[in-house]
Amino acid sequence: MFSQVLEAAATGRDPDGSQPPVRPHDATMTRIMDTALSTLGDDKAGNQNNLSPALRRPMAGLISEYVADTHDILSKDLPGPSEPGGLNTTREQLLRVIRGTAEDPESYSLIHLSETREVARRMAEYGPEAFKDVNGRPDPKFESFVNEASKAFGALDAVQADTITDHKSDEQFKVNWKAKMDYHYVGTIANMLPGTSWLPVGDIAQRYVDVATSDWANQVNSAIDTKAQGDLSSLYTTGQSQMQVMLKEKADQFGVPQRDILLGQLTDSANVHYYTSITQAHNAAFGKA
């Protein structure tokens, strides 16, 4: 099967499971992954819903396998290849592939949980200096990280909203999405995530994952019932809320009060980048106003 050959070529993993993925990925694997994303993502909007059903789950797994690079692509306006692997795929191409996988909610959940885990892993690297006053603003490195993470979550929420609204009259699709967005079900998807031993998530980062995933699953489920009927606003706040609960958890870790001015500035800045990212995704990746 083509999907198994592609997975083996891009990761080094044997299709029969006897050979684990090769990490870090070598130049040949990265080039194959890059070609797959740029080809399936196309150069323009219009075909993002046409990803073969046989490729949805395999591509979700590959995107999760390359999450450090895909986070870099989703969260920044890159002037060159992504880090650390060096993917040249554009943000728009990547989002169109993710949109194709999202026809299957389990595949989309795998990508979203993978991104949440990557954000949590990076957030855990910051200590109490994250909330230190620097000329009346939060630590610039931490603020930049928060803005980038919010941009990535906004891009994924654009995919989610586009998928649900495209199927707003399909009751069975809504039922399937609600079932797969249950927090306990999403928790089982964590067992499918690649890279656990290669990029381990410590206890602190895992706590960020837990609170963020719980909030995201609950927000999506409550939004599907009403938003698929016509009111779309809450489909564009799930990632925003997710970033907020992760920041709150981080602040609690260091005894920072919830009314702290710097925490408020971080939240406000994150919101701006989140909504800007949604607009960019809809316009540039999906060709919608």
In degrees to the nearest 10, what's the CA dihedral of 180, 275, 232, 220?
A: 20
| Residue with the two structure tokens 């995933």 | 213
Q: Which two tokens stand for residue 106?
A: 């389990």
* Rounded Cα–Cα distance for residues 192 and 223 (Å): 26
Q: Which two tokens stand for residue 38?
A: 């740029």
C-beta separation of 213 from 187 below 8 A: yes
Mean pLDDT in residue range 23-47 = 89
How much of the chain exceeds pLDDT 70, in percent? 76
- pLDDT of residue 227 exceeding 60: no
The residue count of the chain comes to: 289
Q: Which two tokens stand for residue 42?
A: 């196309």
Between CA 238 and CA 248, with CA 242 as vertex, the angle to 5 degrees is 145
**What confidence score (pLDDT) does residue 236 get?**
56
* Rounded Cα–Cα distance for residues 143 and 137 (Å): 9
Cα Rg of the chain (Å, integer): 18
| Pairs from 10-16 (Cβ < 8 Å, separation ≥ 24) | 10/36, 10/62, 10/65, 10/66, 11/62, 11/65, 11/194
Residue 211 or 83, more confident: 83
Q: Which two tokens stand for residue 235?
A: 């489909």
For residue range 88-110, list pLDDT tens digits in order: 999 999 999 999 999 988 888 88
Where are the chain's structural domains?
A: 2-285
Nearest Cα to Cα of residue 74 among 42, 98, 58: 98
C-beta separation of 194 from 21 below 8 A: yes
Highest mean pLDDT among 41-55, 168-182, 207-221, 254-268 belongs to 254-268
**What confidence score (pLDDT) does residue 13 get?**
76
Arithmetic mean of pLDDT over the chain: 82
* Rounded Cα–Cα distance for residues 15 and 4 (Å): 5
Mean pLDDT in residue range 124-151 = 93
pLDDT band (50, 70, 90) for residue 217: low
- pLDDT of residue 201 exceeding 70: no
Three-state secondary structure call for residue 137: strand
**What confidence score (pLDDT) does residue 198 get?**
45
Nearest Cα to Cα of residue 58 among 79, 33, 76, 39: 33
Q: Which two tokens stand for residue 117?
A: 């885990």
- pLDDT of residue 281 exceeding 80: yes
DSSP H stretches of helix in 191-255: 203-227, 238-253
Mean pLDDT in residue range 146-154 = 95
